[in-house]
Amino acid sequence: MLAINALANQYYIYIKKGQQPIPWDIYDSKPPVKFGLTDYLSKVFQAIETSSAIRDFIFYITWDEMDELPTYGQNVVVFVVGDEWYRTPMYAHKVRAVFKCIGTRPVLGCNPLLQPSLLNLLTLIQFLRILIVSFPGLANYQYHKLKSWLSGKGKITPIYDIPLGYNNSKNLPIKPIEARLYDTYFSGSIVHISYPIWSLKHWLGTPKSLARKLMISSLQKLQRKNPHYQVELAITAGFHDRKPEDERSYCEIMMDTKICVVPRGTSFETNRLFEGMKYGCVVVTEALPSRWYLDGVPVIQIKDWRDWEKVLENLLRNPQLIQEMHHKSLDWWQNKCSETVVAEYVVKQLNASITLSSQQQNLLPIANLSMSLTPP
């Protein structure tokens, strides 16, 4: 196992302001603080380390800290992995680069005027709330962008989108799609937060809970009408309540599934989307935002989960299409979302982030990345 001081760069998990950053040895299978994406990101960072492409950088990995960091400078790179409010960090102009899962550009994903429904109304309300919550960070970023341009310093650091990746995805051998046991599979929560009785969310629900209820209702209806279909359905309390044995079961069943159902969470992007592609499932999901790693993604996007029964039946009657989408999912994961591809993207953008400021002119150029996930 590599000691932290042997790494070319320093990696810290930063929970929230006021707390000390926690050193992270990215080769340690048990990180000091466990939260989503540490398995995925550790392999991204290992690819960068093995390549020797970057040296003397400080990487802060935070869930959703938007206000401050322990240190700033052109050797500081930040990964924000859990912010579902699409916010722009207040410190973005003070660091070399910010890489953000879910991004800073929300997507509405429906037309509440042409398709009126409770789900679409709540989706619109949530979208407007996101715009309000994200406005201060966006305004601050645009202010510093204008200030930098007026002073002749050039562009400030862009905010780069990166995939959510997986939470816990075992490296299992890819099972042929025609040999898989389950036609379709969903394991997850409907409501993972108990809202107080005075909250409107308690009575009306949320976009996530309503979408998933519709999806589950459609699956149950399909089971009753077609008992010969192999449908696996498991309702859980929520991601944070999963146990290690649940993760193993989840991975094994996912690898044994032909069609992976990916309803929205709080945001439209979810880990399940990438987990399904990694395992070569046919992915059926809702609206997706425009991202470099999602544009053209080989999934089936569904506008209304009440149509899910018809979509599934059409898929199961077309094994050739399932076979084609199986291979496209695997290719897309490997070429767009895998750890090595994201590592290459990070290095490319760090190269592009060099500006003409006198402070940055003293920085050493960053070499091209040679990919490997094998620890030195």
The Cα–Cα gap between 93 and 97 comes to 9
The Cα–Cα gap between 138 and 105 comes to 10
For residue 158, the model assigns a pLDDT of 87
Q: Of 351, 353, 333, 352, which is closest to residue 341 (Cα–Cα)?
A: 333
Q: Which residues of 42-69 are buried (b: 16+ CB within 10 A; e: fewer)?
A: bbbbbbbbbbebbeebbbbbbbebbeeb
Query: Element (H or E) spanning 34, and its range?
Result: none
Residue 63: phi and psi, rounded to 5, are -75, -55
Tell me the average confidence (pLDDT) per consecutive run of 10 residues in the chain, 376 residues long. Answer: 68 92 92 84 95 90 96 96 96 96 93 92 96 97 93 86 90 96 90 79 89 91 89 71 60 95 92 96 95 97 90 93 98 97 95 52 39 36
The Cα–Cα gap between 371 and 359 comes to 30
For residue 54, the model assigns a pLDDT of 87
Residue 238: phi and psi, rounded to 5, are 150, 165
Q: Of 363, 362, 340, which is closest to residue 351 (Cα–Cα)?
A: 363
